[in-house]
Amino acid sequence: MYPAVLLFVIRDSINAGKPLIAAMVHHSGSIQSFKQQKGMHTSISEILKEKSPKPSRRSLPCLAQSQTHPLNLNHFLSVPLSSEPKPEAEGLSQSVSTSCSLLPPHTAEEGNDQYVEESEVTTCETKADESIPLKKPSTRVKLQARNDSVQGKKSAGSSGLFFRDGKKRVDYILVYKKSSPQVEKRCTFEKNLRAEGLMLEKEPSLTNNDIMFVKVQAPWDTLCKYAEQMNIRMPFRKKSYFTDWKSKTLGSRFHLRCRQIKSWLPRNPMKLDKEALPDLEDTDCYTAPFSRARMHHFTINSREAFFSNSTRSRIIHHVLQRTKYEDGKSKMGINRLLGNNTYEAAFPPHEGGYKSRHPIKTHGAQNHRHLLYERWARWGMWYKYQPLDLIRRYFGEKIGLYFAWLGWYTGMLIPAALVGVFVFLYGLFTMDSSQVSKEICEANNTIMCPMCEDTCEPWTLSDSCVYAKVTHLFDNGGTVFFAIFMAIWATVFLEFWKRRRAELTYDWDLIDWEEEEEELRPQFEAKYSRVERVNPISGKPEPFQPFSDKLSRLMVSVSGIFFMISLVLTAVFAVVVFRLIAMEKFASFNWYFVKKNWQFATSGTGVCINFMIIMSLNVVYEKVAYLLTNLEHPRTESEWENSFSLKMFLFQFVNLNSSTFYIAFFLGRFAGRPGKYNKLFNRWRLEECHPSGCLIDLCLQMGVIMFFKQIWNNFMELGYPLLQNWWSRRKMKKGGGGGPNVENKAQLPQWDKDWNLQPMNAHGLVDEYLEMVLQFGFTTIFVAAFPLAPLLALLNNIIEIRLDAYKFVTQWRRPMPARATDIGIWHGILEGIGVLAVITNAFVIAITSDYIPRFVYAFKYGPCVDKGHHHKNECLRGYMNSSLSVFEMRDPNNSNLSIYCRYRDYRAPPWSSVPYEFTLQFWHVLAARLAFIIVFEHLVYGIKSFIAYLIPDMPKGLCDRMRREKYLMQETMYESELTHLQKERKKKGRRYHHEWP
């Protein structure tokens, strides 16, 4: 027998005749004590296992759902035994709300009575009644321990996670300056928030006397009301997967043998230990849209734990977005108040510090933020898989989906990087044996025509030996194979990501979210509230934007886009002019090293100037894109984000790749020939390609821009917030802003710590996705010219994942947890880049590289034409002499003499009957290039389509699980409704059967 104490609490029942409420407190050896020791929630309904007078349906079951922290019996022991009715204390009345019964939400008057500005909240914590005898001393120890837990919760409240009463957890923080003149708007807004059912409490800042924090908390009834309005899906039953193949073979000998063999194998070092992460049980429950009328269907073990922190923050953000601060249709929303400086910031608070004095292995994690830092954001975890479920639970599904995509993209880069390194090593090992490089390095007597008009002199072909060998590293036989491989890789990456996304959306309960949750933007509602149309989906009237208004705004936006793109092309033209001027200057430079390597110097300086222009214009593009997007007045947040993302991508893609397209497809194509050069503005001669080709210029352009852009982005993402936060801490230590000097940062409440952090980017994840999508374009579009691009992208992304994780956990305020079903418009952009990559790589191989001219020479003009066998080096003997034409020029030392110089082209010699006309070899090469483009595109597109057809977008096992879930949801609802009706009939004394009435 477990010792127990039976405590009877009599409330106003002597004269009123109310029933007695009995509660039994078991010893620590009982099941309830075991649950409390393990941190599990207990309820009075579980304690009342013994036979006792049955309470009413509106009392203990509702109280059982309301307890999150260990139950404090002093609440019951301190009630006076008076026959006169007295009002209940505020804390008790809120903790024992009728969660199971359908009561109306708090009214505005109740909210005002409970929380007034700068007022302390009266709690029901009173001293225990010493007159009630306790039969066992252990029970008194138990009560004292529970009192200590409540006191500990109060101390936690002082750290910035709770209201002053130490019970109500802070769900959202509003920040404003006392010196702000927008007092009336703020007071009206906060009054309306209380009318909506939110609880507010103000707290001054400890670091700045001008800063005031408004703590916001949503009580149970308010959460239920808006959860039903927002169609939030909540858990109601544990999932069962016995239809899965793992469950079918769970007890088979083969499965047991496989598990035994798996236990012998070494553990995957990339996986996180199971004990390192908590068991997130809420992800393994079936869910349904929340309804107060069917509340008994849902699994409500605790009122405070039923709605997660991210869900509570999302509900409060929904209320903040739709609360008015003045009379008028457009005078609503926290965004407008942030814009007119009524409030300085609005954010959900972090769950505490991210560091601890004690190691996490021995003492465990203090909170989810600490756990995320130790198991995800630390640089030492760079080789580990990401805890996606924990990321989603803390930051929301939208950010979790971003990190899932980033991790998937990084993992898929590993095979691409390995193949790219093999292609590069193949060029490195065959560099000395290349026939083309040998002929260039041994051509000591081959005189080349001057590369510029006045200051340049003839030079020998052997001077470009190093240039030719470096070109062979990237222009070799493996280039075509690697281009085909990367086109197939892009398709496989996107198809398998669709499958991975389907699994995540199912696990995170996002399958039907878009249709249920898509809401109108407050700006759209305010702008077009006069004209309403019935939504064909919901059947409800909503604001409508006329087609003429939408078309006119779209035309203005498109005009702005074309103007910015023309500005980019103007910048590229300026870079081209700079290269022409720099070419003449470096070719006539006094320093011999620069004069000898004038082509490298021209390309290098041109790339650096182009990089600075790119980074400068990006700042302008972001502001223009934001202005044009707001001008369009998108209907929903997803439409706004997609429109803004598309504009940013178009601007930055053109800005980043326009110079690359010029070098790949236009450099050296329109330069003319000696004696008839084409000149820009009749002043500067157009730039020519090197005798070994223009591919090395394209490779240099891609390598420099990709390397420096990634370094700059990483600095701006982490270095800039670090500097800003350091400056904030420095001001805080000096008592900046007129506030007190807080020496110990740990003494600050959490809202003060979060206020000193930097806010998340105003555009959300657009910049994060944009950076990776542009990198994906660089990795695939011109990969034939730079096979090391996947390797650079892989190394950058390994750093990027931990850098973003560190930034989200430690340097940024906690963003509002948002939901998303996919990566939005970025998936379509990635598919478009994959299609464009096939075309560009086909043109790079056919036009920019010398692969096709070498191929035509080997099989049409080389020494192997009449032989049965074809050896690569032997068949290319004499290729350089065949690819260089002859020009007759005056001797620079003696104008009366003529000399012959060579230049890169397929033209007839001066002694021909048709001098300087294109030869037959030129037309053969041109035809082969066009044929290669057509064959390459059709072949690769066919392979891509076939692979996309073979790989379904959703795994078969997932389809079965979804179908079973729908079946079980219906069965569960039927069973729950039947049980509810049976209880109602039994309560009324009616007969009932185990079938539907």
pLDDT one-digit tens code per residue, 40-57 = 443 333 333 333 333 333
pLDDT at 696: 82
Residue 819: inside a domain:
yes
The predicted pLDDT at position 29 comes to 39
Q: Would you tell me how many other CB atoms lie within 10 Å of the CB of residue 391? A: 23
The pLDDT of residue 518:
62
How far CA 850 is from CA of 177, 468, 690, 842, 929, in Å, comes to 66, 12, 11, 13, 10
Neighbouring-strand partners of residue 889: 899
pLDDT band for 333, please (50, 70, 90 cuts): confident
Name beta bridge partners: 215.
173, 201
543-565 tens-digit pLDDT = 888 888 889 999 999 999 999 88
pLDDT exceeds cutoff 70 at 871: no
pLDDT at residue 114 is higher than 70: no
Q: How confident is the model at residue 408 (pLDDT cuts 50, 70, 90)?
A: very high
> What proportion of the chain, given as a percentage, has pLDDT over 70?
74
Q: Is residue 79 part of a domain?
A: yes
CA–CA separation, 103 vs 292, rounded Å?
Answer: 9
Q: What is the pLDDT of residue 48?
A: 35
Report pLDDT for 697: 82
Asked whether residue 190 carries a pLDDT value surpassing 90, the answer given is yes
CB 154 within 8 A of CB 169: no
Structural domain harbouring 681: 385-733+748-853
Mean pLDDT, rounded, for 258-281: 63
Residue 79 has pLDDT above 80, yes or no: no
Coil vs helix vs strand at 51: coil
User: What is the distance between the alpha carbons of residues 453 and 674, in angstroms, rounded to a whole number?
Assistant: 10
Q: What is the pLDDT of residue 170?
A: 92
Q: Half-sphere exposure of residue 45, counting CA atoms within 13 Å on the CB side?
A: 16
The identity of residue 211, as a single letter, is: I
The residue written with tokens 């079951």 in the block is 61
Residue 588 phi, psi dihedral angles, 5° rounding: -110, 25
172-177 and 211-217 beta bridge pairing: antiparallel
d(CA 649, CA 390): 30
781-806 pLDDT, tens digit per residue, is: 988 888 999 999 999 999 999 999 99
Q: What is the average per-residue pLDDT within 114-125?
A: 35
Report the pLDDT value the prediction gives residue 142, as an integer from 0 to 100.
Answer: 37
More confident residue, 634 or 272: 634
Band of pLDDT at residue 245, cut at 50, 70 and 90: very low
Distances (CA, A) of 524 to 419, 519, 542, 667: 50, 10, 10, 48
Q: Is residue 812 part of a domain?
A: yes
Mean pLDDT over residues 253-271, rounded?
66
Q: How confident is the model at residue 240, as a pLDDT? A: 57
pLDDT band at 330 (very low <50, low <70, confident <90, very high): low
Q: How far is Cα of residue 746 from the mean position of the Cα atoms in its chain?
A: 30
Instruction: Point out the domain boundary residue: 809, 825, 853.
Output: 853
Q: What is the largest distance, in Å, between two alpha-carbon atoms of the chain? A: 133
**CA angle 463-466-469, nearest 5°?**
130
> pLDDT value at position 167?
85
> What was the pLDDT predicted at 52?
38
Helices (H), ranges, 7-89: 13-16, 31-37, 44-47, 60-66, 74-77
Ramachandran bin of 931, using left for φ above 0, alpha for ψ from -120 to 50, beta for the remaining angles = alpha
Domain boundary among 853, 872, 895: 853
CA distance 565 to 559: 10
d(C-alpha 328, C-alpha 843), whole Å: 58
Residue 352: inside a domain: no
Q: For residue 115, what are the CA distances in angstroms to 57, 104, 320?
A: 30, 19, 18
In degrees to the nearest 10, what's the CA dihedral of 329, 331, 333, 336?
Answer: 130
Per-residue pLDDT tens digits for 343-358: 999 999 998 888 888 8
The lowest-confidence range among 168-182, 506-520, 924-938 is: 506-520
Mean pLDDT on 87-114: 36
What is the predicted pLDDT for the residue at 937?
92
Q: Give just the sign of the alpha carbon dihedral 825, 830, 836, 840.
A: positive
Give residue 149's pLDDT.
40
654 located within any domain: yes
**Residue 514 has what pLDDT?**
63
CB of 458 within 8 A of CB of 890? no
**Cα distances (angstroms) measured from residue 884 to each of 78, 439, 909:** 103, 12, 10
Nearest 10 degrees: Cα torsion 727, 731, 737, 740? 150
Tell me the C-alpha distance between 767 and 759, whole Å: 14
CA–CA distance, 851 with 832 (Å, rounded to integer): 27
Query: What integer best gives the mean pLDDT of the chain?
Result: 76
Query: What is the mean pLDDT of the segment spanning 630-657?
Result: 88
Span 938-963, mean pLDDT?
87
Query: What pLDDT is attached to residue 635?
Result: 84
- Write a three-state SS string for 757-802: CECCCCCCCHHHHHHHHHHHHHHHCCCCCCCCHHHHHHHHHHHHHH
Q: What is the CA radius of gyration of the chain?
A: 36
Cβ atoms within 10 Å, residue 855: 18
The stretch 892-906 carries a mean pLDDT of: 80
Q: In the structure, what pLDDT confidence band is assigned to residue 515 with cuts at 50, 70 and 90? A: low
Domain count of the fold of the chain: 2
From residue 204, alpha-carbon distances to 160, 211, 403 in Å are 12, 6, 36
Burial track 687-716 (b if 16+ CB lie within 10 A, e otherwise):
bbbbbbbbbbbbbbbbbbbbebbbeebbee
> How is residue 845 written in tokens?
């191989």
User: pLDDT-derived band of residue 495, with 50, 70 and 90 as boundaries?
Assistant: very high
8 Å CB contact between 602 and 583: yes
CA distances to 59, 92, 106, 805 from 75, rounded to whole Å, are 15, 7, 23, 43
Residue 203, SS3 per DSSP: strand
Contacts of 659 (CB under 8 A, 6+ apart): 572, 575, 610, 701
Neighbours of 99 (CB within 10 A): 22
Instruction: Inform me whether the pLDDT recorded for 279 exceeds 80.
Output: no
The predicted model gives 193-217 an average pLDDT of 91
Residue 399: partners with Cβ closer than 8 Å, 6 or more residues away: 391, 392, 765, 808, 815, 817, 818
Domain final position from 853, 872, 891: 853
* Listed range (90-104, 167-181, 435-449, 856-870) with the worst mean pLDDT: 90-104
Mean pLDDT (whole number) for 77-94: 36
Residues ≥6 apart with Cβ < 8 Å to 532: 541, 542, 543, 544
End-to-end C-alpha distance for the chain, whole angstroms: 44
pLDDT tens digits for range 428-473: 888 888 888 888 888 888 888 887 777 777 888 888 888 888 888 8
Between 234 and 593, whose confidence is greater? 234
Residue 22 DSSP SS3: strand
pLDDT score recorded for residue 957: 82
CB 821 within 8 A of CB 514: yes
- What per-residue confidence (pLDDT) applies to 966? 77
Distances (CA, A) of 955 to 239, 385, 648, 947: 18, 22, 34, 15
The answer to whether residues 472 and 437 touch, using CB atoms and an 8 Å cutoff, is yes
Per the domain annotation, does 218 fall within a domain? no
Confidence at 732, pLDDT banded by 50, 70, 90: low
Res. 319 pLDDT band, cuts 50 70 90:
very high
Q: 963: closest CA among 580, 383, 660, 511?
A: 511
**Residue-level pLDDT at 579:** 84
Instruction: Name, of 295-299, 834-838, 984-988, the range with top average pLDDT.
Output: 834-838
Tell me: pLDDT of 386 over 80.
Answer: yes
Greatest mean pLDDT range, 124-128, 910-914, 977-981:
910-914
Helices (H), 464-597: 465-474, 478-507, 513-517, 522-527, 547-587, 592-596
- Is the predicted pLDDT of residue 474 greater than 90, yes or no? no
Q: Is residue 226 part of a domain?
A: no
- For the chain, the residue count is 997
For residue 661, count other CB atoms closer than 10 A to its CB.
17
Residue 801 lies in a domain: yes
pTM of the full structure = 0.77
Q: Is it the case that residue 377 has pLDDT exceeding 60?
A: yes
